[in-house]
Amino acid sequence: MSATQNLLVELLVEELPPKALPRLMNAFGGDIHWVLNRHGLVGDVELDVNYKLFATPRRLAVWVKDVASQAPEQVRSVKLMPVSVALSVDGTPTPALLKKLAALGADASAVSGLKRVSDSKSEVLLFESVVPGATLVEALQQALAEAIAKLPIPKVMSYQLADGWTSVDFVRPAHGLVALHGSEVVPVRALGLVAGRTTHGHRFEAATPAIELRDADSYAAQLRDAGAVIASFAERHAEIVRQLDAAAAEAGLKPIDDDALLDEVTALVERPNVLVCRFDRAFLDVPPECLILTMKANQKYFPLLDAEGRLTERFLVVSNIRPADPGRVVGGNERVVRPRLSDAKFFFDQDRKKTLASRLPGLDKVVYHGKLGSQGERVQRVRSIARAIGEAIGGTALAEQADRAAQLAKADLLTDMVGEFPELQGIMGRYYALHDGEPEDVAYAIEDHYRPRFAGDALPRSRVGVVVALADKLETLVGLFGIGQAPTGDKDPFALRRHALGVSRLLIENGLALELPWLIERAAMAFTGVSGVDADIVKVAEFVYDRLAGQLREQGYSALEIDAVLSQRPARLADVPARLAAVRAFAGLPEAPALAAANKRVGNILKKADRAVAARVDAALLKEPAEAALYEALNDVGPKAAASFERGDYAPSLQALAALKSPVDAFFDAVMVNADDPALRANRLGLLATLHAAMNRVADLSKLAA
């Protein structure tokens, strides 16, 4: 490999879509490095050590350490043809061989250097040649082409180049290309641009209109000093956090915690400058969720909270300029936010002029799904499911509260506030329900019935909310599975995987003694009379178990432990954690491996039986001492294990089985199960079936066998 120098590649463009900037940065820099590595110009390197990524609103760049100007020579081997075809009887080359060599740029003189190798069929000739390694110009040209073609562009633009004829498709119009190998320009092209060493800094605050980069290593420093730009996305992010915290601390407040907003603002500015602004305190009468969402979504502001977490009238702006007098910037932002907050207040005031209950007839006109009817029809289904669940866990009182919450749960979809900000559905329902005089549990259930909305989200705060959340998710799962809309591959447009995880979390974390098949059956009953819906209870249950298995793996349980428990399809999901803990404790016993192996053996024997084997034993037919001893041990251990199981004490239930190891081992050593006598054979199979049933109440222990 030739002498190495550091490489800098920058693409200067118009303002990039901020939410996509981190992905564009990683893809652009990562692909360029990968192609250079593929060509042998750079070794395997570590991000931020051997190569660094840069991204601002107007540029994508990558710096790579120790890049060669040319890759080492490579030996190329080409399999030609069988010796019998390539050489005549006297060893001279045939016309076919000479033609093949000519195609590879060789002549008859190369024949003597050909190698003979054997493949699976015959002896063949191998042509080896030394080819020069790729040059940096060749490799970087290919790297740029591949990186640009593979960029995860949200929406492509088409624009004309300076010649007025050529069109280019890219995320935004590109205006500059830099490629420096050390201090030398690498003459590559992309998007109608020829690489040079000139870049541009901040639109308004750069010291010079154009910046001539000295070399690859001076890029970030020159942009900072002459261009007033922090080129590193990570450094700019950290600087914004520092300024936000400092400005908030000076006011005795704290900025709202929002990583997505931080990333977006980092992608919007090149030279961050945090300023403190305020709005009229009268707007604080509007629910804080509305004000916060308005400021974050529309203006990219950071609301400030007091020590108790309450919203204040002050907020932070991340400006892209640093004027000597920031007053005009502050005043401008305060003027801009006022009409936004006024709109929110107007929506809130107007919405409260109508009760949620008065909006219910309007849900009949809102389509939920073409095959599942309107939102009004859906509400009636959720109500019936919620009443059944509420009755099961809390009697009539809970059923009535859940019914009312389910009835009102979707009414806020018709309010002006939710129409403007769909993210506030449920939240506004709570506020409006409390304003209407609904009970607190009902109001909070309206908000909470969407929970959990994502992994790690909080669960509903009351039993009413839990009931309605379960009902809503079960109705969605059964209905959409019933019309053939189950997720396929990566596609899950109705978030059914999230709903399934929600069902399992609601049952497990609330310790609800409800059986999953019963819940799905109640949901299926709500679709009685709905044409085109084939409610498949088994498919929905299997889907929930499958999602639960994935969730448990993320929690650190092993595949063997999960399979042992879930293969039994426990009806009560709330029991699953205790069963898993019991299996883990059992697996630690010295007797566990032998018992698991024996259980697997018993299962295989029973599967091979001519007919289904009942767990029934005739003591009079126990001829061998070993089978009598096993029967006696089962009569002793079985009731104890069963009693613990019925109490939900799964660990003692499994641990009691340890006493069976010796009699089980002795049985298989001394007893022929498939005896010639049909009565003896049937009795011994019945004994094994009894053993199998006793061992597999909590989990299928055979899954633990090696």
Query: What token pair was written down for 498?
Result: 């999230």
33 lies in some domain:
yes
Pairing relationship of beta strands 198-199 and 211-212 according to DSSP bridges: antiparallel
Do both 403 and 443 map to the same domain?
A: yes
374 phi, psi to nearest 5 deg: -90, 170
Query: What token pair was written down for 583?
Result: 């299996």
Do both 448 and 549 map to the same domain?
A: yes
Do both 205 and 164 map to the same domain?
A: yes
According to the model, what pLDDT value does residue 360 have?
Answer: 97
Q: How confident is the model over 546-562, as pLDDT tens digits?
A: 999 999 999 999 999 99
Burial of 442 (0-12, 13-18, 19+ CB in 10 A): buried
Percent of the chain scoring above 70 in pLDDT: 97
Tell me how far CA of residue 176 lies from CA of 79, 147, 162, 294, in angstroms: 45, 16, 13, 36
Q: pTM, whole model, 2 decimals?
A: 0.81
Q: How confident is the model over 248-281, as pLDDT tens digits?
A: 999 999 999 999 999 999 999 999 999 999 999 9
Do both 381 and 529 map to the same domain?
A: yes
CATH classification of the domain holding 595: 1.10.730
| 299, 337 contact by CB (below 8 A) | yes
Transcribe 138-156 into DSSP letters: HHHHHHHHHHHHH---SS-
Query: What token pair was written down for 550?
Result: 């994935």
What average pLDDT does this structure show over 160-174? 86
CA atoms within 13 A on the CB side of 285: 9
Question: In terms of pLDDT, which residue wins out, 487 or 46?
Answer: 487
Indicate the pLDDT class of residue 675, thresholds 50, 70 and 90: confident
Do both 92 and 158 map to the same domain?
A: no
Looking at the predicted structure, is the pLDDT value of residue 364 above 90?
A: yes
Q: If residue 85 lies in a helix (H) or strand (E), which one and from where to where?
A: helix 83-86
Query: What token pair was written down for 476?
Result: 């969605």
344 lies in some domain:
yes
Tell me how far CA of residue 140 lies from CA of 36, 39, 46, 568, in angstroms: 7, 10, 19, 57
Looking at the predicted structure, is the pLDDT value of residue 155 above 90?
A: no
133 phi, psi to nearest 5 deg: -70, 160
392 phi, psi to nearest 5 deg: -70, -35
Paired residues of 55 in beta bridges = 60
| 179, 185 contact by CB (below 8 A) | yes
Do both 282 and 191 map to the same domain?
A: no
Indicate the pLDDT class of residue 75, thresholds 50, 70 and 90: low
565 lies in some domain:
no
Percent of the chain scoring above 90 in pLDDT: 67
Query: What token pair was written down for 45?
Result: 């390197």
Quote the strand ranges of 343-451, DSSP E: 367-369, 373-374
Provide the residue type at 387 as one letter: R
Burial of 207 (0-12, 13-18, 19+ CB in 10 A): exposed
Provide the residue type at 495 as one letter: A
Structural domain span for residue 115: 74-131
Do both 284 and 165 map to the same domain?
A: no
CA atoms within 13 A on the CB side of 357: 10
According to the model, what pLDDT value does residue 394 have?
Answer: 95
According to the model, what pLDDT value does residue 102 have?
Answer: 81
570 lies in some domain:
no
Judged by average pLDDT, the poorest of 303-317, 344-358, 471-485, 652-666 is: 652-666
561 lies in some domain:
no
Name the domain boundary from 192, 225, 258: 225
Indicate the pLDDT class of residue 446, thresholds 50, 70 and 90: very high
According to the model, what pLDDT value does residue 314 have?
Answer: 97
Judged by average pLDDT, the poorest of 342-356, 598-612, 661-675 is: 598-612
Judged by average pLDDT, the poorest of 298-312, 318-332, 541-555, 604-618 is: 604-618
Do both 371 and 482 map to the same domain?
A: yes
Three-class DSSP labels, 37-76: HHCCCCCCCCECCCEEEEEECCEEEEEEEEEECECCCEEE
Query: What token pair was written down for 216?
Result: 């690859």
Q: How far apart are CA 255 and CA 271, in angstroms?
A: 20
Indicate the pLDDT class of residue 517, thresholds 50, 70 and 90: very high
380 lies in some domain:
yes
What average pLDDT does this structure show over 425-431? 97
32 lies in some domain:
yes
**Is it true that the peptide bond before 18 is cis, omega within 30 degrees of 0?**
no
Indicate the pLDDT class of residue 103, thresholds 50, 70 and 90: confident
Please, what sign has the CA dihedral across residues 32, 33, 36, 41? positive
Name the domain boundary from 307, 329, 351: 351
Structural domains in the chain (count): 5
Q: How confident is the model over 86-100, as pLDDT tens digits?
A: 788 777 888 887 787
Looking at the predicted structure, is the pLDDT value of residue 165 above 90?
A: no
Do both 398 and 425 map to the same domain?
A: yes
Query: What token pair was written down for 111?
Result: 């024949």
626 lies in some domain:
yes
Do both 367 and 456 map to the same domain?
A: yes
Q: How far apart are CA 463 and CA 661, in angstroms?
A: 45
According to the model, what pLDDT value does residue 483 have?
Answer: 94
Q: Angle between the 463-482 and 537-554 helix axes, to the nearest 10 degrees?
A: 120
Quote the strand ranges of 267-362, DSSP E: 273-278, 302-305, 311-319
Looking at the predicted structure, is the pLDDT value of residue 341 above 80?
A: yes
Looking at the predicted structure, is the pLDDT value of residue 147 above 90?
A: yes
| 177, 183 contact by CB (below 8 A) | no
Name the domain boundary from 314, 332, 351: 351
According to the model, what pLDDT value does residue 48 have?
Answer: 62
Do both 423 and 523 map to the same domain?
A: yes
According to the model, what pLDDT value does residue 2 have?
Answer: 63
What average pLDDT does this structure show over 387-394? 97
Paired residues of 125 in beta bridges = 116
Looking at the predicted structure, is the pLDDT value of residue 479 above 90?
A: yes
Q: If residue 472 lies in a helix (H) or strand (E), which one and from where to where?
A: helix 463-482
Q: How far apart are CA 71 and CA 133, in angstroms?
A: 4
Do both 67 and 81 map to the same domain?
A: no
266 three-state secondary structure: helix
Q: How far apart are CA 194 and CA 398, in angstroms?
A: 72
Quote the strand ranges of 69-202, DSSP E: 74-82, 115-118, 123-131, 157-160, 167-170, 174-181, 184-185, 189-190, 193-194, 198-199
Q: How far apart are CA 557 and CA 580, in angstroms?
A: 8
CA atoms within 13 A on the CB side of 81: 15
Q: How far apart are CA 275 and CA 248, in angstroms?
A: 10
Whole-number average pLDDT of the chain: 91
| 551, 498 contact by CB (below 8 A) | no
Burial of 149 (0-12, 13-18, 19+ CB in 10 A): exposed
According to the model, what pLDDT value does residue 109 have?
Answer: 73
Closest CA to 645 of 634, 656, 636, 635: 656
